[in-house]
Amino acid sequence: MNTSIRKVAAALGVLLAAVFINLNFVQVVKGSDYRNAPDNQRVLLNEYASPRGQIIVGGGTGTAIATSVSTNDELKYLREYPEGPLYAPVTGFYSITATPSPYLGTEGIEKYEDSVLSGSDSRLFGRRLADILTGRNPRGGSVELTVDAATQKAAYDAMKDSHGNLRRGAVVALDPTTGAILAAVSTPSYDPSRLSLHDPSKILDYYAALNSDRARPLQNRDFNQLYFPGSTFKIVVSAAAIKAGYTPSTQIPAPNGYIASTGENVSSCKGDVINCVENFGGEKCFDGTKATLAFAFAKSCNTAFAELAVDQLHGQAIADEAKLFGFDPDNQLDIPMGVANSTLGPSGDLLDNGKLAHISFGQQSVGMTPLQAAMMSAAVANNGTLMRPYLVDKELAPDLSVLKQTKSSVMSQVLTVSQDKLLSEMMQDVVTKSYGTGGSAALSGYTVGGKTGTADTGATSASGVQPDAWFTGFALQGNTPRIAVAVIIENAGTNGSEVTGGLAAAPVARKVMEAYLKAHP
C-alpha cells in the first residue's frame, strides 16, 4: 500500500504546483491588469480613503479653495471647492478616476500637484510611515498658490457686464518682479465641486451640459487658449525697433494705406484688403504721411508698424525679440500646468512681406495666451527683465512644514534697462496722452502703462463677428513695478474702431490693479 500512498502524495504535489503556478500568474503576471481593470473599484476606494491636502490661495489669507470633507458613503472623502467657479482654471477638479472612459480624472493643480496632495510624493514617505505607525490617518500635503484672493475676486467681478453677466474672456495678473501669478480668471467658468461628486451620473450630466455650452466654460483661457494679439503685439515690434536704434521720437512713415508687396504708400486702400494695409477702420494716423514711433504706438497705427516691420526691421529681428518675450515654439512654460506655446505662426510667414505686415500688428497666424500678454507688460515694467511665471508658491507637508518654496528666476532680458525705459514711457503714453487708446486704465497715485488691442478674430468684418478686446499693462509705484495685467474680452470690440478694445478691456485691468494695490499698499 505504501507505494501507492506515495504516488498519491506525488499526485497531490503536482496539484499544489499547479495552484502555485496559477497564483503567480494571477497575482504577479496579470496583477496590474486586474488592478487597473475598469470594474475594479479598489484603486478608487483607496484613493478616496484618506483626506487629500488642501489647495490654499496666497496673499497671507490662507483661504482653502480646495478641501476634502469626510462623508458617510463608501468613498470616505469628498473634494469641495468653497469658492465655486472662481478658481476653477487654477485648481481644476478631482473627479472619479476609475475608467470607463467618460470619467474625467483630474485637471489643473489637482493633476499637476497630485503627488503632494494625495500624499504619495516620495518626500512625504517618512511622514506617511510615521502616520501608519502612530495610527493616524495618512494625509496628503497642501499646495499654497501665488494667487492673491482679493485680486482674483476683483478680476472675476470685473469680467461682469453692466447686467451682472460674465463676459467671455480671461484675466491674468503677474508680479513683474517675481513672475508670481496673482490672478488667473477664465470666464465663464464651471463649478469644480460638481465635477468632483461621488455620483458618476451627476458628474456626467454636468459635464455634458458644460461641454455643449457654446461659451465653452471648460476651456482654460488663461493658459490654453491662443488668441490673435492684435495691436498688443506692437510692444514686441517696438522693442525690436528700439533695439535697432529707434527712439520714441524717431519719425517713421505712417501712411493711410501701405502695400507691403511693393512697398508703396497710398492715400487709401480702396477696398483692397488683401494686399493693402490700412489703419483700423481706415483712420488717419497723424498727418497721413509720418508720425513719431511713440505716437504711432499710442494711437496704434497699423500702417506705420507694417512699414517699420517690412522695410526696416524684417522678420528675423521681430521673431528674435518675440522669443525673448516668450513666443517660443520649442519651450513650453510649466507653471506647473502646461501652457500653450504662443507663436508667430509658420516661420515662412516672416519672409513674406504681405504676411509680415499683418504679423506686425498681431494678425496673420500669431497666437498668444493671456498669460503671454501679461508677461509682455511684466517684462517692460521690470526694467526689461522677464521673470519666469509660476503658480505654486509652496508645497507643504501635512504638518504645514515647507517641502519646497518656489524661487523666482529670470527667464530672459528683453531689452537693456535704458532701452526698456523708452518702451515703458511709450506704454505710459498710451494711458496718459489724449491720443492714447488706453486712457481708461489710468489709476491715480500710480504710473500706469499699457497697450490696447482690437484683434480681428479671423472672420471678416462683414460677417458681423466682433473683434476681441485686449489690454495689457502695468502699474508702477514710483519706480517700483507692482503688477502686470492682461485682459481679453472676446468679441467686445467694435468693427472699425481701434479705441473700442481699450474701452472694453482697460477698465477691467484698472479694477484688477486697483484691488491688488489696495490690498497690498
Partner 1 sequence: MTGAFAQLRTPTRRNAELLMLLFSVMIVIAAEAAVEAAHDGHLSAHLATYAAVPITIGVITHLVIRRVAPYADPLLLPIAVLLNGLGLVMIHRLDLGEQQQAKDAGTTFGAQAPTQVLWTVIGVGLFIALIVFIRDHRALQRYAYTLALIGLVFLLLPALLPARFSEVNGARIWIRLAGFSIQPGEFAKILLTIFGAAYLVAKRDVLSLAGRRIGFATKKRFVGFDLPRGRDFGPVLAAWLICIAVLVRGHDLGTSLLFFGLFIVLLYVTTERVSWVIIGVLLFAAGAYLSYQLFGTVQTRVAIWLHLFDTSSPATDPTHCLSPAYVHCSSGYQMRQSLFGLGTGGIFGTGLGGGHPELVPLPATDFIMSSFGEETGLFGVVGLLVLYALFVARGLAAALAVRDSFGKLFATGLSFLMALQLFVVVAGVTRLLPETGLTTPFLSYGGSSLLANWVLLALLLRVSDAARRPATTPPPPPVAAAEPVGVTA
User: So which residues are the catalytic ones?
Assistant: 231
Please list the residues that pair with 148 across neighbouring strands.
58
What cell does 239 get?
522693442
Measured distance CA(129)–CA(140) in Å, rounded: 13
Measured distance CA(337)–CA(218) in Å, rounded: 15
Residue 28 interacts with partner 1 (CB under 8 A): yes or no: yes
Q: How many residues bind partner 1 (CB under 8 A)?
A: 46
Options 60, 61, 69, 74; binder of partner 1; rule CB under 8 A? 74
Closer CB to partner 1, 42 or 123, in the complex: 42
Measured distance CA(269)–CA(276) in Å, rounded: 6
Q: Print burial letters for 160-180: b (CB count within 10 Å at least 16), e (below 16).
A: eeeeeebbbbbbbbbbbbbbb
Residue 125 interacts with partner 1 (CB under 8 A): yes or no: no
Helix (H) / strand (E) containing 174: strand 169-174
Closer CB to partner 1, 16 or 402, in the complex: 16
Options 125, 130, 161, 199; binder of partner 1; rule CB under 8 A? 199
Residue 274 interacts with partner 1 (CB under 8 A): yes or no: no
Closer CB to partner 1, 20 or 409, in the complex: 20
Closer CB to partner 1, 20 or 125, in the complex: 20
CB-based contacts of 480: which residues, under 8 Å, 6+ apart? 177
Please list the residues that pair with 450 across neighbouring strands.
473
- Under 8 Å between Cβ of 77 and 64: no
Closer CB to partner 1, 198 or 221, in the complex: 198
Q: CB of residue 5 vs partner 1: minimum separation in angstroms?
A: 5
Options 3, 122, 162, 444; binder of partner 1; rule CB under 8 A? 3
Closer CB to partner 1, 47 or 107, in the complex: 47
Measured distance CA(430)–CA(478) in Å, rounded: 18
Q: CB of residue 51 vs partner 1: minimum separation in angstroms?
A: 14
Options 12, 209, 351, 410; binder of partner 1; rule CB under 8 A? 12
Residue 34 interacts with partner 1 (CB under 8 A): yes or no: yes
Residue 1 interacts with partner 1 (CB under 8 A): yes or no: yes
What cell does 309 get?
516691420
Options 61, 62, 69, 73; binder of partner 1; rule CB under 8 A? 73
- Under 8 Å between Cβ of 424 and 446: no
Closer CB to partner 1, 15 or 462, in the complex: 15
Residue 209 interacts with partner 1 (CB under 8 A): yes or no: no
What cell does 408 get?
523666482
Residue 24 interacts with partner 1 (CB under 8 A): yes or no: yes
What cell does 305 get?
508698424
Binding mask of the shown chain, residues 78 to 107, with x at each position contacting partner 1 by CB under 8 A: ----------------------x-------
Please list the residues that pair with 169 across neighbouring strands.
187, 489
Residue 204 interacts with partner 1 (CB under 8 A): yes or no: no
Given its phi and psi angles, is residue 398 left (phi above 0), alpha (psi -120 to 50 degrees) or beta?
Answer: alpha
- Under 8 Å between Cβ of 303 and 255: yes
Residue 136 interacts with partner 1 (CB under 8 A): yes or no: yes
Closer CB to partner 1, 3 or 434, in the complex: 3
Options 70, 101, 135, 444; binder of partner 1; rule CB under 8 A? 135
Binding mask of the shown chain, residues 157 to 176, with x at each position contacting partner 1 by CB under 8 A: --------------------
Q: CB of residue 273 vs partner 1: minimum separation in angstroms?
A: 55
Residue 123 interacts with partner 1 (CB under 8 A): yes or no: no
Closer CB to partner 1, 35 or 160, in the complex: 35
Options 15, 163, 287, 348; binder of partner 1; rule CB under 8 A? 15
Residue 33 interacts with partner 1 (CB under 8 A): yes or no: yes
Neighbours of 210 (CB within 10 A): 19
Q: CB of residue 11 vs partner 1: minimum separation in angstroms?
A: 9
Measured distance CA(70)–CA(283) in Å, rounded: 62
Helix (H) / strand (E) containing 476: strand 468-477
What cell does 121 get?
510624493
Neighbours of 493 (CB within 10 A): 29
Q: Sort 85 into a burial class: Cβ within 10 Å, 0-12 / 13-18 / 19+.
A: buried
Q: CB of residue 108 vs partner 1: minimum separation in angstroms?
A: 24
Query: Could you give the dihedral angle defined by the CA atoms of residues 474, 479, 480 and 484, in that order, rounded to the nearest 10 degrees?
Result: 10
Judged by CB under 8 A, which stretch of 42-50, 246-254, 264-272, 328-336 contacts partner 1? 42-50
- Under 8 Å between Cβ of 118 and 44: no
Options 19, 69, 130, 208; binder of partner 1; rule CB under 8 A? 19
The residues of the shown chain that bind partner 1, judged by CB under 8 A, are 1-9, 12, 15-16, 18-20, 22-24, 26-28, 30-35, 37-43, 45-46, 72-74, 100, 135-137, 198-200
